[in-house]
A and B are shown apart, each in its own frame.
Chain A
Amino acid sequence: MGTENHFLLKMRSLHTYFFTDEGVAKAVDGVDLELEDGGTIGLVGESGCGKTVTALSIMRLIPDPPGKIVQGEISFSGTDLLTLSEAEMRKIRGRFISMIFQEPMTSLNPVFQIGDQISEVLRLHEGMSRKEAWNRSIEMLKMVGIPAPERRVVEYPHQLSGGMRQRAMIAMALACSPKLMIADEPTTALDVTIQAQILELINRLQQEKGMSVILITHNLGVIAETARKVAVMYAGRIVEYTDVRSIFANPKHPYTQGLLKSIPRLDEHQGRKERLEAIPGLVPSLLDLPKGCKFSNRCKYVFERCVEEPPLIETGARHLVRCWLYE
């Protein structure tokens, strides 16, 4: 369907800040992203790097106050989402762009049956009748692999296991066949065997429906299995951006390299090993960022140039790095 240059989502220069009593937290400070039709991009980073705020900015779910999108453009199928009214955004959420969250228990309404929650999406966006929406909900539960869906559809979230709740949330997100699904740490709260099932489900549905996915996670293993393009975030910025193979085979930013070295590797089958190479120090507080390159105070390659913040530098086929080492 899409040509090489057909981008479903184009984000330019997004700046989302939180204005607090202690100062301004620049949660997202100049992020550009491009997502092809049917593509999957992984947003990787640790707590506080800005990946969730980026996703919430796309959905226009940033609480205001204290948050505010102070600058930027998010073009979705040609329309800048940041210029839409709340009423217009409501038509988009759940219908064209959907989101699934990390904690299925807190994002499902505990006092409504699963069937009602999926039906709500269908009745709101597709104008279905109660009966039609209910039947479609059962189909959706079946599609996401919930056994005996006609029994589950009348249950409440607390009656389902974590994996099933996540599937129910995916069913809700996909009910209207959105063009874009944003999955924010969709499997972090789940056991590894259920995680594998959910990732396989997301991959399969994506292929079947030609859907684009933004997958947010701190787990590099999950990224390796699902993403095609990867953006590594740190302190509100993208510090490295390339395809998934290159990120693992040839990580360029010292932070990305550090992350990869600090993960214990199951595939090496060495049993007990000595030490992991940990990145020293802590992720800086957004209220107290270092001057110049935001990673400079933890970087083992820091040199004079680093007192100035580097731009994203192109190093070979579509591999961008925010680091003076590549000037």
Chain B
Amino acid sequence: MNANGNLVEVKNLKKFFPVHTHFLSRAKVYVQAVVGVNLSIRRGETLGLVGESGCGKSTLGRLILRLEEPTEGQIFFENEDILQYDSQRLRLLRRQMQIIFQDPYSSLNPRKTVGSIIGEPLIIHHIGSKKEREERVLELMEVVGLRPEHMNRYPHEFSGGQRQRIGMARALALNPKLIIADEPVSALDVSIQAQVLNLLENLQKEFHLTFLFIAHDLSVVEHISDRVAVMHLGRIAELAKSEDLYRSPKHPYTQALLSANPVPDPALERKRTLLQGEVPSPIHPPSGCNFHTRCPYKFEPCPLEVPQFKEIEPHHWVACYLYGPNE
């Protein structure tokens, strides 16, 4: 147990992907997917991570799981530097952190039965006898709302929502502490989305899970998260408690995202801040504050230097010169 209650801590994390301009070239150009991220995930919380496509949120999730190796930076799990782990310790670590993927269609092996998919983590980590594994699989299926007779069926026989349940059962198989949910409900219909979100809430309570919930749908993220981090082009723009972010967004990008979100209430008259132009490329990000090219409040310091990520109110962090210069 650590002193500050952080399950995961990420320090100055960077991930650059090389871009090869042609077959034989050595890459001189990089996709700057994650650029200097500092973040912590507290034990037992749901941390939401929002941003548009290409902002680096999925890459950040994968880095924490060491599904990608960082270019620079540190990752701590329960206060231990997991980048130092050899393959044996890493394998043990993998029991503690699991992932639920966005696409319920491509994340399940179509040639395996449901029972075999959910039981696979147990086999890989040599847990239990065959009988014990089968019992555990049935237990997990019940927990996620699948019927025992589904065990011998194949993924294609299920709907998207049911497949997502299979993915959740698989993620729970090893009793992990942390689950990274990467857009787990984006591909689902609205009414199924609600069922799956409720299920995630129940599972969190029952199994004392910590979630990193990655999504682009702001309403879903607000609903399920304790705290929310907003990412833009590889950097965190704002981090706050869920209700504070939505009631009082500080970063102009957060304000634009919230403003752009269509609200199911035609009677609501809203002043919308529409961002002009396209999302900049992560290969050639803008200088200084990477949002300045689309920011309605841009002024002199913005293109010059990256703004510091500062705590401007208790538990409310922003990287923006509107709230003061760098120290």
Residues of A in contact with B (beta carbons under 8 Å apart)? 46-47, 147, 161-164, 191-197, 199-200, 218-225, 244-245, 248-249, 258-260, 262-267, 269-280, 282-283
Contacts and interface: CB of A to CB of B under 8 A. Distances in A.
A325 to B, nearest CB: 19
Contacts of A279: 191, 194
Given A262-B193, A265-B264, 10 more contacts: A191-B279, A192-B218, A193-B256, A220-B190, A245-B266, A262-B190, A264-B220, A264-B223, A267-B265, A271-B241
Nearest to B52: A191
A221 B278 contact: no
B216 A266 contact: no
A192 B219 contact: no
B260 A193 contact: yes
A28 B275 CA distance: 39
Contacts of A244: 266
A222 B162 CA distance: 26
6 contacts: A163-B278, A192-B262, A193-B275, A195-B262, A224-B268, A225-B262
Nearest to B218: A266
A161 B264 contact: no
B260 to A, nearest CB: 4
B195 interface: yes
B242 A271 contact: yes
Contact of B243 (A271, A276, A282): A271
A47 B243 CA distance: 32
B265 A224 contact: yes
A196 B260 contact: yes
A51 B292 CA distance: 41
A265 B216 contact: no
A323 B49 CA distance: 41
Interface in B219-254: 219-220, 222-226, 241-244, 246-247
A220 B189 contact: no
Chain B, interface size category, equals 35 or more
Nearest to A197: B274
A277 B190 CA distance: 11
Contact of A262 (B194, B241, B242): B194
Contacts of A225: 262-263, 266
B46 interface: yes
B314 to A, nearest CB: 15
Contacts of B224: 264, 272
A226 to B, nearest CB: 9
A259 B190 contact: yes
Contact of A282 (B159, B217, B222): B159
Given A163-B278, A164-B278, A191-B52, A274 B201 contact: yes
A224 B264 contact: yes
Contacts of B190: 46, 218, 220, 259, 262-263
Interface string B137-172: 000000000000000000000010110000000000
Contacts of A164: 278
B107 interface: no
In order of increasing CB-CB distance, the 6 nearest A-B pairs are A271-B243, A221-B262, A264-B223, A262-B194, A278-B194, A271-B242
A32 to B, nearest CB: 23
A276 B197 CA distance: 8
B53 A191 contact: yes
B267 interface: yes
B279 A276 contact: no
Contact of B257 (A46, A193, A224, A272): A193
Contact of B191 (A219, A259, A265, A269): A259
A303 B50 CA distance: 43
Contacts of B326: none
Contact of B242 (A195, A223, A272): A272
A163 B169 CA distance: 36
B306 interface: no
B198 interface: yes
Contacts of B278: 161, 163-164, 194
Nearest to A190: B53
Interface string B43-62: 00010000011000000000
Given A271-B222, A273-B223, A220 B191 contact: no
A282 B165 CA distance: 14
Nearest to A227: B266
B31 interface: no
Given A224-B266, A274-B201, A195 B194 contact: no
B216 A282 contact: no
Contacts of A194: 278-279
A200 B274 contact: yes
Given A164-B278, A278-B198, A260 B264 contact: yes
Interface in B34-84: 46, 52-53
A221 B53 CA distance: 20
A264 B161 contact: no
Given A192-B260, A276-B197, A258 B191 contact: yes
Contacts of A161: 278-279
A276 B198 contact: yes
Given A191-B216, A272-B46, A46 B263 contact: no
B272 interface: yes
A278 B159 CA distance: 17
